[in-house]
Structure formats: C-alpha cells, structure tokens
Amino acid sequence: STIAKIKLEQITDWREERVYEAEFFAKIDRLIKSSQSLINDRNDSEIKNYLQELLYPTKSSHGYENIFITDINSNILFSLDSIYSRADSVTELNISKAIKKDSLLFEDFHFCSVHNKIHLDIISPVKDYDNKIIAAIVFRINPADYFFSMIQKWPVYSKTAESILVKNEGHQIRVLSQLRHNKNDKMLFTIPITEKKYVSVKGALGQKGIIEGQDYENQDVIADLNSIPGTNWFIVTKMAREEFYSELIFKTGAIILLAVFVLLLIISTALYLSKIRSSSIYKDLFLKEKELNEFQKISKAITDVAQDAIIMINPEGNISFWNPAAENIFGYKPEEIMGKNLHNLMAPKHYHSQHQEAFNEFKVTGEGNAIGRVLILNAINKNGDEISIELALSAIRKNDEWHAVGIIRDISERKQTEEKLIESEEKFRQAFNTSTDSIIISRLSDGLLLDVNQGFCKITGFSKEDTIGKTIVDLNIWDDIKERDKVVQELMQNGTVDNFEAKFKTKNGKIIFGLFSASLIDINGEPYIISMTRDITARKEIEASLKVSEELFRHSFNYSAAGMCIIGIDGKFQKINNTFTQILGYTESELSSYHFNDITYPDDISIGISRFNLMLEDVIKIAEFEKRYIAKDKKVVWVHVTTSLIRDIKNHPKFFITQIIDITERKSMEIAIKQSEENYRHIINGMNDMVFVSDLNGQFIHVNDAVSEKLGYSKEELIKMSPFDIDASLKKDQIANLIQNLDYDKIQNFETYHRSKNGDVFPVEIRTTIINYQGKKVILDIARDISERKKTELLLKQSEENYRHIINGMNDMVFVINPSGKFLDVNNSASEVLGYSKEELLQLGPTDIDNSLSKEAIVNLINRIPSDEVQSFETSHRTKAGITIPVEIKSTMISYKGSKVILSIVRDISDRKEAHRKIMESEEKYRTMITQMQLGIAVHEIICDDNGTPVDYSFIDVNQSFEKLTGLKKESIVGKRVLDIMPETESSWIEKYGCVALTGEPLQFEDYSKELNKHYSVVAYRPRPMHFAVIIDDITDRKNSESELIERMNEISRFNNLMIGREEKMIELKKEINRLLEESGKEKKYDEISE
C-alpha cells in the first residue's frame, strides 16, 4: 500500500508540474510575439534562434522529447527537433480540440505511426494581446524515456512486484505502460472488460484498495488499485500472492528476534538521541537552503526571459529590482537605474503630486487604489520619449516594510494600431455613406433590413426611418418579387451575384432600372446579403432615345427639302437624298464612284478642299461656304454648302455630312440686297446703358446718347477718344490685354470706374464682345452705372458683420469673458444648462465650471486666443448639481463695449459622443461591406510644390475592385507616385484631387483617363488633411452610348437649324424677286409663297 501511494504521488506531482510549465510558457510575452512573427514569416532565423535559447533548457532538464509551436491549422512554425516537419493526424485533432475549447489539453497516450513511437502531449493555446488564439505550443513526452521507468522502478528487490498504468476504454482495458514480461511498444496489449478475474478489470469496474485476483499472465497476485486524479488512468501495484505471503511469514519471525535486539538498542538510542536531533536540524536547514537556492534560480530564469518589465521599489521609492525586459523597454542599464527614484526619473510630471499622496499611504498600509489593478499610463524612457504602458501593481511585505512590485508592458505599438484601425474604419464608413449607388444589408432568411446608405434613400425615396424593422417585401421595392427569389437562390449556390438587371419601385411607385450585385456576409453567425444597386434608368432612356434619334435622322435625311449627302474621308459620295438628285440631276448609283471634285466647278475646287482639311485637322467643326457644281446637264449650279465632320468616340474621322441649297437665283439678285442700319441706331440710342462701338485698337467708332449724358462729352468729342481716356481704374496695358483676349461671339464681363468730363468718378459694369458691324469686326461695349448697387453692397457688408456676432450665440451657451478670466455676460442657455442664475454666473469664471482642464491650462488657452480667428477645443463642464457634461467650445476675440473680450460659444456634445460610440460598434460590418464592394476604392496622399500647389499624388492603399477597374496591381503602385506610374496623367486629375485634399470639400465628377483609355465616375473626399480617398467606377460603356447619342442629336440639331435658316432665306429671296419684277413692270414669278 505504501509503495502504491508513492507511485500515485509521483505520477500526480509529475503531471501537475508539466501542466504548470505548459501554461507558463504560453503566456510569455516574447513567445507570443515570436509566434506572431513566424506566422508572418516562417523563415525568420532570428526568432527561431531566440526560441531555441528559450525552450532548449526546459527540454533538456525535464526530459521532453520535443517542444514545438504550430499555427491554428496545426502547421508547424518552430520545432526544437528539426526532423519534425508536420504533426500526425491525432496531434492535429488534439490541437484543434484545445483551440476550440480555449483551454490546456493534457493529451492521452497514443501510438504515432509517423514516428513509430508512443506520444504523450501537453497542448496549450497561445493568445495575442486581444485574447485571440493565434498558435499552440506542444510539449511532447516519450514515456519510454522517463515516465514508464518511473512507474516500473521498485524501491526494494522483488521477483514478481510490478506497477502497471492502464485505462478503461469501455469494452476493454488497455495497458499503457511497458510490462515486465512484455515491452508493449505500441500499446496493443488489452484485456476484455468481461474478464473479471483480472485485477486490472476489477479496478476498472470501481474496486479500490488491496484486492486479490490474477494478473495479465494469469498468476494469482495481491494488488493495490488507485486512480490518477484528472485522468482516466489508474495504476495497478501488484505482487505474486506466493511471494507476498512468504515474505509476510519471514517478517513475523524476524520481528520476534528483533524485539530483544530493539530493547538492547533503546539505551544506545537514548545516547545518540541528542546527536540525531542536532543532525536533523542541520539537515532540515540544508534542505531549506537548497530549496531557497532552487527557487531563486527559477525566479531569476523567469524574470530574465519575461518580456514584460518587472520592477521593484523600496519604501523610499527607489528602484531595488530591474530585469532585462525593463532595460529593453526603458533603455536604462541596471547600473544606471538601481537605487534611483523611479517616479522622478520615469513618470511624467503631471503624475507626481497624485503619486506622492498615494505612495505615502502605501508605505504605511501596503494598500492603494492602484494595487491589484491594471492601469494604462504614460512613462518616459531614457531618450525622453513618452511611451504608452500597461502597469499591474502588487505589494510585498519585506523586513516589516512594504515594497511595490510592478509588471509593465509596452503597449505603444498596440495603441498606434488601435488609432490606425479607427482611422481605417472611418475611411470605409465614409465610403459607405458617400457612395452614390444604393447599398443595403439585409438578412438572408427573411429580408429584414439591417442598414441602408444615403444612395439607397436618394434613389428610392425612402428615408432610413422608413426601413427600421422592415423587410424587403414590406417596402415592395422589387417590381417582380420572383426576381429576388432568383437572386437569393443564386446567392445560396454561388455566394455572389454580379450585374443582374432588374426593375425596382421607388417609394412613390415609379419604376426604375437597376444593375444589382450582391454577396453573402456573416454577422453574428447569421448569413446576411450585402447588395449594391446602380440606377441605370438614365442609361436605358439613353438607349431608347438613341434608337429614336437614329430613326429621326434617317427620316430627316431622306425627306429634307435641302440636298443632303454623306461623303467619305476619301472624298467619295456614299449616300445622297432625293433633293440632291433634283438639284444636280445625278442618281445615288451614278455618284457612288465619284469624288466631290469630279462635279465641282474647276475654279472652286480649292474652296472645298481647304475647308475639308481644316475640319480633318480639328481646326474648325463646321464649314459654310458657297461654290459651284456642274450638274448632269452641264449647267453651272450655285449652292450654299454647310458641312460637318462626324468623328467616332475616339475622335477619329468617320465621314462628312453635307447639306446644299440651290442659290443660283439669289446670286443673280444679290446686287439688289441692301443693308439697313436705321433700326439698329434707334435701338442703341433708346438704351439707358452706355453703348460704345470701337475698332480692334480701341478707337471709338460710335456711341449712343447715354454716353454723352453720363460722361458730359459730345459725340464728336467721344469719336476722337478711346477707353484709355475715360477709364479711371485700369491701366493702359490692362485695357489692351482685355481687348486682345476678346473672342468672337463670346461675352466678357468686368467692373471698372469711368471718369466724366467734369472729373466725377463712378463705378460701371461692362459687358463686351466682338461683332460684325458694316462688314467689319468691331468691339461692342455696354456699360452700366452701378453706383447705387455699390452703396447697397457696402451697407449690406457692415450689416452682415454685426449679424454674424449675434447669431453665434443663438442656440448654444454663450459666454463673454474678460482677459482676467471672469464672465462679463452669459445667455439664457448657459443658465438653463448649468443650473446657475445669471447673477451667480457673473460672479464666476471658466475655472469654476470646467471639470477637465486645470486653472493653468485655462489661463494658457485665454492668453493664446488669436484676434479675428476662432479657437476650437473640447472639454467638460460641471453643472451646479455636480453633473459633468462634455462640451465643444469655439472662442474668438471681439470688441465689446469698447474693449477686447473673449466670445465663447459652448455646445453640449453628449449626444454626439454617444453617437460616436455607437458608430464605432457598427464599423466592423461596414468594413466588411466595403471590402466586398464592386466599386474601386483607393487612398492617396497629395504632393505639393514649394508654393503649396498640388503637383502629384501617391498611392497609399487600394482594394481589389480598384485593381480590376484600372488594371493596376496593388503591389506595383502602393508607395509610388502617379506620375511615375502613368507619366501622361492629365493635370486636371491632380488639380481636382488637390482641391479635395487641401479644402476638405468632397467632389463628384466624371472624366476620361487618357493613360487608361477609360471613362470613370469618381467620388472623392478627404479622410484627413493632405490625403484624399476615391470611389471609382468604369463608365466607359455608358459614355460611349452617351457620346453616340449626343453626336446623333447634334447632327439633327444642326440639320434642323440649317433647314429653318435656309427655308426663311428662300422665302425672303422669292419675295424680293417678285418685288423687283413688279418694279420693272413684269409679272411676279412666284404666285404663292408658303411661310
């Protein structure tokens, strides 16, 4: 029984030591970081060398066969034994089980066919700082090396004694350990549970203590049965029955003989008692010292390998312990820091007063608010930099004095990661909210809406409130609900749906066309649909309009009253209408092989050729000219030609469309046509505004009566003058530059001042353009006296300045503060929110109500408020009832009763703070949505020259859709400038993005990229200063359709305008011919002229 207890204690203690060891190493900071690094780079030799140094001493001293680390998929990241390249299937299953249960697993014995050995593994999950499992550490034991020999070892000699480790498998008993007469290398030795004669079976069926039975060799034995705590194992300690009883008889006789001998020894025992007692004391002392020495070695090993700083300070606040991790974090070597005051050296000044008060209490009681808690603080390293730390404090009683022990973790990197995560989530949240497409998140099972964006509200007319608690079916937005069922079916089969065209209903019942894409996402373990729908109603209407316009063009061409023809780039006729045949007599088949020069009058060939070349060179868009054709009957026909060049979407010439009108009769009657200017002069002189007509050098040719009245000069005097003589504001070179930049048929507006003959100066607004006047190009200026308007604008500006100060305090709390920090005036909102009367508040100042800033900080803010600028910051105020509320303050310097004072507008931002918290909670699902968006997303940094002008931008990040839409790969562009990647990028792109990055104003536009040869729809916004993010979509197909439609519509418009103008001219000419014939005494040629 005694031997059985010894074996049981040995196994139990051994197991507990292994469990503690596995738990300890899984929590070492550097091992956690090393595991994360190996997940990112499995060939990191520096990390592997560190792990070798950390784990090898434990392997050697505690008899492990191997220690290795795997990722969560059981792939080996590191192994002390290099031959271990993969885990066997049983180990993979157990690693998965440990990770799933999130707990240490003391694995059962199993025979590994890969290594041909019995394994016993202890598996402990490794977690990162967010408590997420990232890896597993496995301590592997070969029980044949140590464990089985410990079980088999017998303290005294025996021929038959043996200890066996077995386990109950339900239907049989399996022997785990090696046997005295059977090596059992593969644990194949089993005993059926029905064989109750065996002591092992009796133990499995619940019997304990000393029993009789048979062993595995069918020998009668006496056995002691004990179960191993925490396992399904039990140990059988047995001896042959014959040996057990023969030994018992021998011992009985020996006891009788020894009784006498013992009596004789009593005396001698008494003599040696004193010596034995002294020896025992020294032995105990030696063992205690040995235990203490071993504990100190273990403690030093732990503190040396710990990646967290471990620091102890004595009751004077001086450092008495400093481990290597503390040196790594703070930069001080032990000889530099030991004995120095920790808080004076490493704590920021704003902690000092608070620390001293708490430390005085700690020295007496060993207690404090910080003891036993984990605090997030700032500390100062040797370089003077502030770092973020996580501090856990505990108290130790030593020599009747309290010492403090701190475990410190550098969390600067984690804090930076958290800040970057918040910034990243904000970028993607803005992308969701600013997308012009409809984006909704709905539950797959019933279509319940989880969230919708502004694009959805704008397209459908529903508000976000309309969607709360509603399903897709409730809103009835699918015109045919069967189409949604079809989409859901495809999503369940493939996980995504791309570019599905469907009809949808808006809130008011209007049918629109949408291009629908969707994918499945998981939210809280439940499948949801995130879908994006683009409104393509306009595109559908364009396609329908294009079809109508083509039919309209065909009809207009064939039935036009003017001659129409289409001429190829090679100058040959491709198509003519009936009117063209009537004018010249040729049929379409006869002209199909003709160049237009073949029927042109020889002297006029150069006219047509020169105009056609100018259009091909894109110098002019439309050409109008007169020329002569030779008709089929050889007669010369004068025609008025209007022609334009039609280009394709890439601006390549396609063909000319030409219209001709027979003007043969007009040419014979031109001599009778006269110009009349009388009506023009009546109109000009009747205007209240001043009208100047001048040549291209600025010399006045004509002025109206209003000019003489306003300026005091006679018309004869003004005809000898120019703008240089009457302008009181602009210099001669400025006026000359204005004249030089004038374009024909384009109006230029500007303001200046005129000086009258008597010296009066008054403001004028001038509209100027170039016109044809008496066959010449001249400058037409219309000038208006705006003196009254200028006076009104001045008064309005003064009124707005006063109005601005009034409205600043209308809704929020308003405080007027003198430079010494006392309230001079407050509004009703301040009294209502803070709970003080106005009289009470006028006795106070900002320092009396602020609950966040110190008096020194408030005084510093007051002293730093700039004139005519607004200072903004956030703090918290304390009401009279003691309630703290967060506020946002805008302050500026103003004049108040003749003195400079501070005007502060204070807004309660409690609701905004709460809303921000809720937004952060929902960011994860938005981020998931954004990563699956079909739109391209990219984040850039703008690059400016020394003058602050945007000249380039660099790529910071892009999503997969951006790569797909642009053809640019992320690894090839991130970190590079756009002009290095695409040197021909148009400056307009950089200018637009620069405006967004510098001003913060979002921008939505469409433009063509020459480098990528595509049209894009772009939404740009600024996530932070000097940066911009873009959401892009390829709209090349739509632009091609729109361009083709616009070309068709422009052709028809030009044709219609020409037709209307030519018909009116024909009517006028017929009337004029009739009039001339009547004056000459002849009969009218045209009896009826249709209008």
DSSP 311-329: EEE-TTSBEEEE-HHHHHH
For residue 1061, what pLDDT is reported? 57
For residue 4, what pLDDT is reported? 67
pLDDT beyond 90 at 713: yes
| Range from 468-472, 716-720, 934-938 carrying the lowest mean pLDDT | 934-938
pLDDT beyond 70 at 443: yes
The answer to whether the CB of 881 falls within 8 A of the CB of 888 is no
What mean pLDDT is predicted for residues 359-371? 82
For residue 972, what pLDDT is reported? 92
Sheet of strand 309-313: strand arrangement = 319-322, 309-313, 401-410, 386-398, 374-380
Nearest to 26 by CA among 136, 106, 107: 136
What mean pLDDT is predicted for residues 453-469? 91
Q: How confident is the model at residue 913 (pLDDT cuts 50, 70, 90)?
A: confident
- How would DSSP label each residue in 885-934? EEEEEEEEEEEETTEEEEEEEEEE-HHHHHHHHHHHHHHHHHHHHHHT-S
Summarised one tens digit per residue, pLDDT across range 366-385 is: 888 778 778 888 899 999 88
Q: How far apart are CA 883 and CA 910, in angstroms?
A: 12
Q: How far is CA 224 from CA 67, 153, 210, 211, 1078, in A?
A: 35, 16, 4, 6, 148
For residue 266, what pLDDT is reported? 61
For residue 673, what pLDDT is reported? 41
pLDDT beyond 60 at 877: yes
pLDDT mean across residues, the chain: 82
For residue 1086, what pLDDT is reported? 65
pLDDT higher at 355 or 652: 652
pLDDT beyond 90 at 137: yes
> pTM surpassing 0.75?
no
- How would DSSP label each residue in 701-735? EEE-HHHHHHH---HHHHHT--HHHHBSSS-HHHH
Q: What percent of the chain has pLDDT over 90?
A: 26
What is the 8-class DSSP label of residue 509?
-
Assign 1012 to helix, strand or coil.
coil
pLDDT beyond 50 at 672: no
For residue 1043, what pLDDT is reported? 75
Q: How far is CA 498 from CA 444, 529, 927, in A?
A: 17, 13, 20
What domains are there in the chain, each with its CATH number? 2-147 (3.30.450.20), 308-410 (3.30.450.20), 418-540 (3.30.450.20), 564-672 (3.30.450.20), 678-791 (3.30.450.20), 808-913 (3.30.450.20), 935-1034 (3.30.450.20)
pLDDT beyond 90 at 68: yes
pLDDT beyond 80 at 793: no
- Six token digits for residue 620: 């002019």
For residue 125, what pLDDT is reported? 94
What mean pLDDT is predicted for residues 721-739? 87
For residue 417, what pLDDT is reported? 74
pLDDT beyond 90 at 996: yes
For residue 460, what pLDDT is reported? 92
Summarised one tens digit per residue, pLDDT across range 585-628 is: 999 888 888 999 999 999 999 998 999 999 999 899 899 999 99
Summarised one tens digit per residue, pLDDT across range 886-910 is: 989 888 887 776 788 888 888 888 8
pLDDT higher at 1088 or 284: 1088
Summarised one tens digit per residue, pLDDT across range 768-781 is: 988 877 668 888 89
Summarised one tens digit per residue, pLDDT across range 539-552 is: 888 888 777 777 77
b/e sequence 49-58, b meaning 16+ C-beta within 10 Å: ebbeebbeeb
Q: What percent of the chain has pLDDT over 70?
A: 85
pLDDT beyond 60 at 267: no
What mean pLDDT is predicted for residues 865-886? 85
For residue 283, what pLDDT is reported? 44
For residue 631, what pLDDT is reported? 93
Q: How far apart are CA 677 and CA 1015, in angstroms?
A: 51
What mean pLDDT is predicted for residues 145-173? 76
Q: How confident is the model at residue 675 (pLDDT cuts 50, 70, 90)?
A: very low
Summarised one tens digit per residue, pLDDT across range 796-850 is: 666 556 544 554 455 688 888 888 889 888 887 888 888 999 899 889 998 899 8
